[in-house]
Structure 1
Amino acid sequence: MSVSVQLENKTSEPVKASLQPLMDIVRQDLDSTNQIILDRMHSEVELIPTLARHLIAAGGKRLRPVLTLGSAKLCGYDGDRAQKLAACVEFIHTATLLHDDVVDESDLRRGNETANVLWGNQASVLVGDFLFSRSFQLMVEDGSLEVLRILSTASAVIAEGEVQQLMNVGDVNVTEENYLQVIASKTAALFAAACEVGAVVADRSPEEAAALRNYGNDLGIAFQLIDDALDYSAEQAALGKTIGDDFREGKVTLPILLAYQRGDADERAFWTRVIEAEQQDGDLDHAMTLLARHNALGDTFARARDYGNSAKKSLDIFPDSPVKAALIGAIDFAIERAY
């Protein structure tokens, strides 16, 4: 008689990339940053902290301030300037989210109703302005003209990127170059600035500051490419978003650009109609069929991996360390959200 024995499966799943190692390294500094954020949201005007707290409490990885803190750690800095500048970075990011949701007429963010739905567009815009002002107060308090230059320039570039994206809505003839410039401005600029100030507060060399700026820029572009591909992916539901928001808003992102370039005359006519004219029931399903036919999502993910690899190379100037490994892990985390 034979006996069947169930052996323990020693084959483990591949370890999924995680932001946790970097979060663990900066945990104490991040706690201080979060307290600064709460303190600086205070206002005698009750609606301001109420609305700002709604968005900040909605979750998120605090990726941008975490990158500021991690970059400072990489450069050997261990003071409180990085904590305040990380809060500054988060205020800039939060302000842009408030403004974006108004412009995009968004109803949900991370599965929660947006501030503009709950309190209206006017309140959202004005509280966004308040948070921008708070960020500039923190920059001035830091006392470094170089920090002020980096973060104020990033704020202006972000605004330019958002305006350019607005101009591109409904235009199927947007070029890849123009699209990449938009995401470099509206997303990557803050990633780059967040990382660069980490080197500045540590008084590191211009070469090291540039390396961290390049790391943040390429990570930011990769991050946005993944976001744009995820708009057509079932993974959106897990992120608290609905599939096809960009499509319904007429935004021409890289997946659509690739499908349009590779499509035949009928397919191009379809893209022109749904982006520039009107959409009908079933158009999103057909759009996703065309994206799959031309591997537009797969190639967008591949492009993100290329930028991720470039971001990793930018860190070659720094010696190996747990912080460096964690910053590299942040790249893998940003890209593997797609899988």
Structure 2
Amino acid sequence: MLAAYAARLSADDPLSGLEIGDRPEPEARDGWSIVRVHSAGLNHHDLWSLRGVGLPADRLPMILGCDAAGTDADGNEVIVHSVVSSPGWRGDETLDPRRSLLSELHPGTLAEYVAVPTANLVPKPAELSWSAAACLSTAWLTAYRMLFVNAGVTPGATVLVQGAGGGVATALIQLGAAAGYRMWVTGRDEQKRARALALGADAVFEAGERLPARVDAVMETVGAATWSHSINSLQPGGTVVISGATSGDAPAKAELTKVFFKQLRIVGSTMGTRAELARLTALMAAEGIEPVIDSTVPLARANEGFARMLDGAVFGKIVVTTAIG
């Protein structure tokens, strides 16, 4: 079958290890299902894998990809939940210290077929297109948990999203606006700020700009470059929810004095559970929310999507489609 996979690792030139070619089809086994992939989503996780983060050389070659929507062996339309818990684990799978994502221990979704634990399959609502469904398992699920599980705020609250263009950021804007939050967004690019307004943001600001008022919560994925601004933007008792650090994880100032003096909460957030993914899909179907799709490429040209993601020119999600889909 055709697949996009990591053949080599390079911290400095991640795309040099990406290959698109033939890989063995997955074999059926107890407790797992074979899904025919219709569409898959790209994530920064795929670039980190090509850099060797979370993917050691002894696991190569490894098919990349975490997100997918397709059909199982019985013809059911499904969405793949990419968090794979260890044998015997019970409860929130994101808290399993031995958990993994597809493409770390098990081959990923950037292929014509993928094997996943049967318990990881979520029914795809008919209201969601294949491309929309392929966006949900990583970025959108991360945004759902950040906003509705970990932020500790209710509709009407003001929420700041750091960074205007990525998949998590656009998901946060759309979900927050649909749920009645007042969404403020920062961004370095004027065009991306304008597009954030069109998505439902109430106000946009340049990166690092002083805000007209303090916010109830900050959704942080940028890391070191925006950390001080995030802390300074919170009202006393506010919350920073952090799910990533694309600019690095060592800010110039930890802002510890402000954290304890203002009694701020810092909450780490990673992905979400299968149950949360099911609730997310139901919400999107009921509210008619369509994920922002930056571009769509066929699997045979998946390298073009990777290059676009690496360049940082993306607004929304990049979707990869298979010929058999």
- TM-score in terms of structure 2 length: 0.22
Give the structure with the higher percent strand: 2
Which of these two proteins has the greater Rg computed from alpha carbons?
A: 1
Give the structure with the higher percent helix: 1
- TM-score in terms of structure 1 length: 0.22
